[in-house]
Structure 1
Amino acid sequence: MAALMAAVAAAASTAFATLHLTKPAIPLTRTTHRHLRTIIASSLSSTPSTTPEFNITFAPPKPKSEPKLKPKPASESESATETPGQDSASELDDQLYIPWIVRDESGNLTLQSTPPARLLHQMANAETKKKKKKKEKDSKAKPASPTAEPKFSKAARRFYNENFRDPPQRLSKVLAAAGVASRRNSEELIFGGKVTVNGSVCNTPQTRVDPVRDVIYVNGNRLPKKLPPKVYFALNKPKGYICSAGEKETKSVLSLFNDFMNSWDKRNPGLPKPRLFTVGRLDVATTGLLIVTNDGDFAQKLSHPSSKLSKEYIATIDGSVNKRHLITISEGTVVEGVQCAPDIVELLPPQPDLSRPRIRIVVHEGRNHEVRELVKNAGLEIHALKRIRIGGFRLPSDLGIGKHAELKQANLRALGWKS
């Protein structure tokens, strides 16, 4: 760049051209920093068909020994006679002068020393914008386009199916889980030849099937591939309700879930409705805690005697209770051919709002009518019987009669269910 500047300066000192302007020429000087100052002029002909020609010339170099002139204050007379757009050399000292070629109202090109008024107005009204930081640009980057889910290899899918996927289950169990009927009624449908698996009639309830892969029809209706999710409820059973799906003239505890079942499709679109059933049973006159679910394995574990889950009852007795009665109840009795003895027998303290005595009895066998048989064997008559606890889960005090509440994982663990 320095060599180029030196060559231009040498050429400018030896060659000069004559500049023809329609307006007086503006003298320009070269600064001590050897900046080039150029003047562009245009000579316009009177006819619009001719194109304007521009001649360029350079000012002679300024000697180094020449002192720098300071601008003198102009008098009022000089300022009045000074032509607008024409500046002195001192005013342009140390400053690069750039002329403006502007088209006037008549369409002719003219030379002026100040920018157009329109440009100055736009610059004054322009709004300055802060420079965006690189971090902001990175944060506002366009989101990546969604990519399709990766397709796993056959070996990976086979490994998943063999190790993590649910294994095939018995046909009767699959039908019961799908809500077709109870397991016993599902077996009757299978024996009756009303169930087909992959186009063939299946008469064996123990046949292992996979509802996702196998095509299962029951009475001409295909079984959905998606099984309903597992649900668990605690119900405060009222008196006069039976635990099985009763006939029209009897009231079933499952009818207390009609609102829940009617709103199932709205809350769980695309999923089949679960078939609810009770875990164990309470007779029609017994009230209190009852577990309702559609998980057959969970129900079997809780209701089977081998689980040895303790169940706590409060028996309200007609008449008086003495120590001999409590000893007889604690000794146990034979229920369904098996000797059953309670874990705890306790006479509760009287309360002012209750006139009848109450006995707290805890059993773990879970035999049918076990508590009633124990009290009957002691020569007492039960006025009311209520179950208040199963395992480590106690009936919530704020759960009204006939109401149900969904069980959480902590409640299921209290019932001994770890899955």
Structure 2
Amino acid sequence: MATIAAAATAFTTLHLSRTSFILPSRRLRTFVTSSFSTTTITAEFNIKFAPPKPKPKLPNPSSPDLDPPDSSTSELGDQLFIPWIVRDENGNLTLRTTPPERFLKGMAHQNTQKKKKKDVKSAANKVKQAAPSAEPKYSKAARRFYNERFREPPQRLAKVLAAAGVASRRSSEELIFQGKVTVNGSVCNTPQTRVDPDRDVIYVNGNRLPKKLPPKVYLALNKPKGYICSAGEKETKSVMCLFDDFMKSWSKRNPGLPRPRLFTVGRLDVATTGLIIVTNDGEFANKVSHPSSNLSKEYIATINGAVNKRHLFAISEGTVIEGVHCTPDSVELLPQQPDISRPRLRIVVHEGRNHEVRELVKNAGLQIHALKRVRIGGFRLPTDLALGKHVELSSSNLRALGWKS
């Protein structure tokens, strides 16, 4: 019988057709039915389970050492609670089911401090991320390459003072001769001394020269009558007073930069109106005003009296000015306009000698009523620019004047 039971058990593990499990009252009975046999084998196993954990006992409400339970904790049932041993106002130890108030306040304060620290750290991280990165450090070879090819070479001391707006170049030379200029702590009496404003420490009358020089300024002014093109004479109005508003608003438009010292490129006499260039760039002024630039200048002369061909021929023949025979490039009689009764002449010259146009007209036997300059090189005075007003020159305007910035 035992042999048959073992064979049946082995076969049913390979070909099990139907198995059922019944768990009646902690006894496991397994009934195995084979497809080839009608014999039923029953195996019984005894399984013991661990006893259930005891439920926690609630404190006795009648005990004098315990606080009366709340309505929320009276029906705890199987819930687990943590007892708190707290010292009361009289100094006696008592058992409570809720934590003391000072503990709850301390926990709340600690959570608040953690949030504040997190906020401070996040703000600091944002500041670090927003902070600009430091400038890259270049090698000695790169700095040497830049200094040799792109860095401006040292300049004459008088030129640096003039560019910084201290005074004109001649006045700067006088300040140097008077011993009012120091370079790196030593008095300098030579205007030709080469200095670098970025490296050398320069003082003028006890005031330090700023390292940053003002940017180059190029302006076109429609000069009115009665103004001179020099800042040295006090008895007559200078064109520089027309830039008072421009200089007052300089600090707002260019914070941290010193004011430029402006001067005119060439001159127009007191009675002549029209185009005059104002800048603080000495090289540009020398380039434009020098005869080698070969820039033509166009004037409109209003004449008192009639003008005929004989006058035009006499003007075109030229005249001697300062020992040099000067001839205009062209002379033209403009058409009569209904609002202007006097005849007008267009005269173009390129030498630009002192009172050249007035001398040419005077030599022809004519008298000038009004003279206005309207063009220098390829730049023409804007027709909508009022007298006493100025406009900033663009890069294309500078190229029209023969200057490549």
Please say if residues 44 and 109 of structure 1, whose CA atoms lie closer than 8 Å, have aligned partners that are also in contact: no
Aligned partner of 1:113 in structure 2 is none
Aligned partner of 1:369 in structure 2 is 355
Alignment: residue pair count: 304
Match among 248, 265, 270 for residue 251 of structure 2? 265
The DSSP-based 3-state class of the residue aligned with 2:353 is: coil
Q: Does structure 1 residue 49 correspond to structure 2 residue 56?
A: yes
Summarize deviations over 1:75-119 as a string: whole Å, max 9, x none.
Answer: xxxxxxxxxxxxxxxxxxxxxxxxxxxxx9944469xxxxxxxxx
Aligned partner of 1:399 in structure 2 is 385
Q: Does structure 1 residue 359 correspond to structure 2 residue 345?
A: yes
Separation (CA, whole Å) in 2 of partners of 1:336 and 1:165? 43
Report the Cα offset of residue 352 of structure 1.
Answer: 1.0
Separation (CA, whole Å) in 1 of partners of 2:131 and 2:291? 57
Please say if residues 311 and 365 of structure 2, whose CA atoms lie closer than 8 Å, have aligned partners that are also in contact: yes
TM-score normalised per structure 2: 0.70
Q: Does structure 1 residue 320 correspond to structure 2 residue 306?
A: yes
Please say if residues 275 and 294 of structure 1, whose CA atoms lie closer than 8 Å, have aligned partners that are also in contact: yes
* Deviates further, 193-202 or 335-344: 193-202
| Equivalent residues in 2 for 1:236-315, closer than 5 Å | 236-315=222-301
The DSSP-based 3-state class of the residue aligned with 1:317 is: strand
Aligned partner of 1:156 in structure 2 is 142
Q: Does structure 1 residue 347 correspond to structure 2 residue 307?
A: no
Match among 364, 369, 372 for residue 386 of structure 1? 372
Please say if residues 178 and 227 of structure 1, whose CA atoms lie closer than 8 Å, have aligned partners that are also in contact: yes
The DSSP-based 3-state class of the residue aligned with 2:267 is: coil
Aligned partner of 2:118 in structure 1 is none
Q: Does structure 1 residue 191 correspond to structure 2 residue 177?
A: yes
Q: Name stretches of at least 5 consecutive residues in structure 2 with no aligned partner.
A: 1-12, 14-18, 27-49, 58-72, 80-127
Report the Cα offset of residue 387 of structure 1.
Answer: 0.2
Give the letter for the 1:282 counterpart. Answer: L
Residues 108, 401 of structure 1: CA spacing in aligned structure 2 closer, same or farther, 3 A cutoff?
Answer: same
The DSSP-based 3-state class of the residue aligned with 2:312 is: helix
Separation (CA, whole Å) in 1 of partners of 2:321 and 2:21? 133
Give the letter for the 1:346 counterpart. Answer: E
Separation (CA, whole Å) in 2 of partners of 1:192 and 1:364? 40
Separation (CA, whole Å) in 2 of partners of 1:207 and 1:145? 42
Give the letter for the 2:220 counterpart. Answer: A
Give the letter for the 1:49 counterpart. Answer: P
The DSSP-based 3-state class of the residue aligned with 1:158 is: helix
Separation (CA, whole Å) in 2 of partners of 1:401 and 1:372? 22
Give the letter for the 1:281 counterpart. Answer: R
Separation (CA, whole Å) in 2 of partners of 1:44 and 1:362? 123
Please say if residues 314 and 359 of structure 1, whose CA atoms lie closer than 8 Å, have aligned partners that are also in contact: yes
The DSSP-based 3-state class of the residue aligned with 2:199 is: coil
Residues 300, 48 of structure 1: CA spacing in aligned structure 2 closer, same or farther, 3 A cutoff?
Answer: same
Residues 148, 411 of structure 1: CA spacing in aligned structure 2 closer, same or farther, 3 A cutoff?
Answer: same
The DSSP-based 3-state class of the residue aligned with 1:165 is: coil
The DSSP-based 3-state class of the residue aligned with 1:405 is: strand
Report the Cα offset of residue 192 of structure 1.
Answer: 2.2
Report the Cα offset of residue 144 of structure 1.
Answer: 8.4
Separation (CA, whole Å) in 2 of partners of 1:224 and 1:239? 37
The DSSP-based 3-state class of the residue aligned with 1:291 is: strand
Please say if residues 286 and 384 of structure 1, whose CA atoms lie closer than 8 Å, have aligned partners that are also in contact: yes
Summarize deviations over 1:258-311 as a string: whole Å, max 9, x none.
Answer: 001011112211100000000000000000001001111111100111111000
Report the Cα offset of residue 17 of structure 1.
Answer: 7.8
Please say if residues 190 and 204 of structure 1, whose CA atoms lie closer than 8 Å, have aligned partners that are also in contact: yes
Aligned partner of 1:174 in structure 2 is 160
* Deviates further, 199-208 or 175-184: 199-208
TM-score normalised per structure 1: 0.67
Please say if residues 55 and 78 of structure 2, whose CA atoms lie closer than 8 Å, have aligned partners that are also in contact: no
Summarize deviations over 1:312-336 as a string: whole Å, max 9, x none.
Answer: 0000011111111111111111112
The DSSP-based 3-state class of the residue aligned with 1:297 is: helix
Residues 359, 205 of structure 1: CA spacing in aligned structure 2 closer, same or farther, 3 A cutoff?
Answer: same
Aligned partner of 1:201 in structure 2 is 187
Report the Cα offset of residue 218 of structure 1.
Answer: 1.5
Residues 226, 46 of structure 1: CA spacing in aligned structure 2 closer, same or farther, 3 A cutoff?
Answer: closer
The DSSP-based 3-state class of the residue aligned with 1:328 is: helix
Report the Cα offset of residue 47 of structure 1.
Answer: 7.0
